[in-house]
């Protein structure tokens, strides 16, 4: 049975915008990004804010989000102090989403997050894998990441409070084992070239600029969307873009001639300052959810025949570079991985079948039999 919420930390007074919801423009993401399984990046999307219409906000009718929980003062203080530890806005946005989703789930099953037990976390884990969820089944990688976020919160509470929690309810929860290989399907080289051609044929020049940035540099969609025009520059004869990586680190990426041409075509008609967004729509800075829709539509036009998102392009950039013979450490540098083992996921994805023992066995079996 689920534990009952304490009187001081009850959930009886829902409010419209709990503090764990990130800002709208920088945090709305599509369903595809919510299932990112590669490179350990911030791939868990913040929830979309309630839609509005002429008659006012539309209520979410999905049972999993039937209630947006009010956050009691103690929990609100703890989560805000915990969020303040993160230097990266993207990391903070991801953790805010995951923890907010958990608090919402707790409200629907009458569990107080600060008195949750291991059994409650087990039920939450099973809920994430429920095929009847409105968001669909969370991948094993996503479940592991979400449990890691909850573990971080509870460990923080144990460290920073005087006896509020004796132990973390996540501590002994079984977490999905994740293979050290990326199973995501990227584009082939033929499909990638068709995708870029489709972007150049699109009447909106910004779409070609986005497509070339993502596919030719392998940058994260968040890095493209947060870049300003002042990020473009030169290093000798090379044109570059400076992006902000996870953890606030800066990295300079070389731009291909084709990418430069797409950017020049897009920026030619704009009169903007260096602090203006590099990629913008009529409403302002391009959001990640808008970027996903653009990428998916271009892929459809190019004949990909499946869902394609910004991270698919990042995967494609990595695997095509590896197949073309780029040193693994160069691919690591391009992708901004802190650990080479993360980049190795792409190498294994490319190389595992090519080097399979099945091929060696086939060579043995096809040898001619000796003369009798």
Average confidence (pLDDT) over 292-305: 94
> 57: which strand partners?
52
> 250: which strand partners?
244
311 is an active site residue = yes
Residue 364 is assigned to a structural domain of this protein: no
Out of 35, 212, 220, 345, the active site residue is 220
What whole-number distance in Å separates Cα of residue 68 and Cα of residue 39? 31
Residue 272 is assigned to a structural domain of this protein: yes
Residue 367 is assigned to a structural domain of this protein: no
346 is an active site residue = yes
Out of 65, 125, 207, 314, the active site residue is 314
Report pLDDT digits (tens) over 191-215.
999 999 999 999 999 999 999 999 9
Q: How many residues does the chain have?
A: 372
* DSSP class per residue in 276-332: SBSSEETTEEPPHHHHHHHHHHHHHHTT--S---HHHHHHHHHHHHHHTT--HHHHH
Q: Same domain for 287 and 219?
A: yes
Domain boundary among 115, 143, 160: 160
Total domains in the fold of the chain: 2
Q: Count H helices and E strands in the chain, helices first.
A: 14, 7
Q: Same domain for 154 and 204?
A: no
Out of 96, 245, 246, 345, the active site residue is 246
What percentage of the chain carries pLDDT values higher than 70? 69
Top-ranked range on mean pLDDT: pick from 200-204, 315-319, 327-331, 346-350: 200-204
In this prediction, residue 278 has a pLDDT band, given cuts at 50, 70 and 90, of very high
Where in the sequence is the domain holding 117, given as residue range(s)?
Answer: 7-50+60-160
Residue 165 is assigned to a structural domain of this protein: no
Report pLDDT digits (tens) over 172-185.
888 776 555 444 57
Residue 169 is assigned to a structural domain of this protein: no
Model pTM greater than 0.85?
no
Q: Same domain for 261 and 326?
A: yes
Specify the pLDDT at position 26.
33
What whole-number distance in Å separates Cα of residue 326 and Cα of residue 348? 14
Out of 35, 311, 315, 345, the active site residue is 311
314 is an active site residue = yes
Specify the pLDDT at position 295.
96
Report pLDDT digits (tens) over 58-104.
333 333 333 334 557 888 889 889 988 887 777 888 889 999 999 99
Specify the pLDDT at position 69.
46
């Amino acid at each position: 049975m689920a534990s009952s919420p304490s009187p001081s930390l009850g959930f009886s007074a829902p409010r419209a915008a709990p503090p764990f919801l990130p800002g709208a423009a920088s945090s709305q993401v599509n369903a595809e990004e919510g299932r990112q399984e590669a490179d350990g990046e911030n791939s868990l999307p913040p929830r979309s804010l309630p839609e509005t219409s002429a008659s006012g906000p539309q209520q979410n009718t999905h049972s999993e989000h039937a209630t947006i929980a009010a956050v009691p003062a103690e929990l609100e203080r703890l989560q805000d102090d915990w969020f303040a530890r993160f230097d990266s806005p993207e990391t903070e946005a991801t953790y805010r989403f995951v923890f907010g989703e958990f608090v919402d789930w707790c409200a629907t099953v009458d569990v107080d997050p600060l008195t949750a037990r291991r059994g409650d976390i087990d039920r939450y884990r099973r809920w994430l894998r429920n095929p009847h969820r409105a968001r669909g089944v969370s991948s094993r990688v996503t479940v592991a990441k979400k449990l890691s976020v909850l573990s971080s919160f509870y460990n923080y509470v144990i460290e920073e409070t005087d006896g509020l929690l004796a132990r973390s309810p996540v501590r002994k929860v079984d977490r999905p084992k994740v293979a050290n290989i990326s199973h995501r399907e990227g584009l082939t080289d033929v499909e990638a070239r068709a995708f870029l051609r489709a972007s150049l044929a699109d009447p909106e020049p910004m779409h070609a600029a986005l497509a070339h940035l993502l596919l030719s540099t392998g940058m994260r969609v968040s890095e493209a969307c947060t870049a300003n025009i002042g990020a473009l520059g030169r290093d000798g004869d090379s044109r570059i873009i400076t992006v902000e990586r996870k953890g606030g680190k800066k990295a300079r990426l070389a731009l291909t001639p084709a990418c430069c041409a797409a950017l020049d075509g897009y920026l030619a008609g704009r009169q903007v300052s260096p602090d203006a967004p590099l990629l913008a729509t009529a409403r302002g800075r391009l959001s990640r959810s808008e970027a996903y829709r653009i990428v998916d539509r271009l892929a459809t036009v190019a004949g990909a025949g499946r869902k394609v998102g910004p991270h698919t392009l990042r995967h494609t950039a990595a695997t095509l570079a590896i197949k073309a013979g780029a040193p693994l450490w160069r691919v690591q540098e391009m992708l901004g991985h802190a650990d080479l083992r993360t980049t190795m996921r792409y190498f294994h994805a490319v190389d595992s079948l090519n080097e399979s023992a099945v091929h060696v066995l086939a060579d043995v079996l096809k040898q001619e039999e000796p003369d009798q």
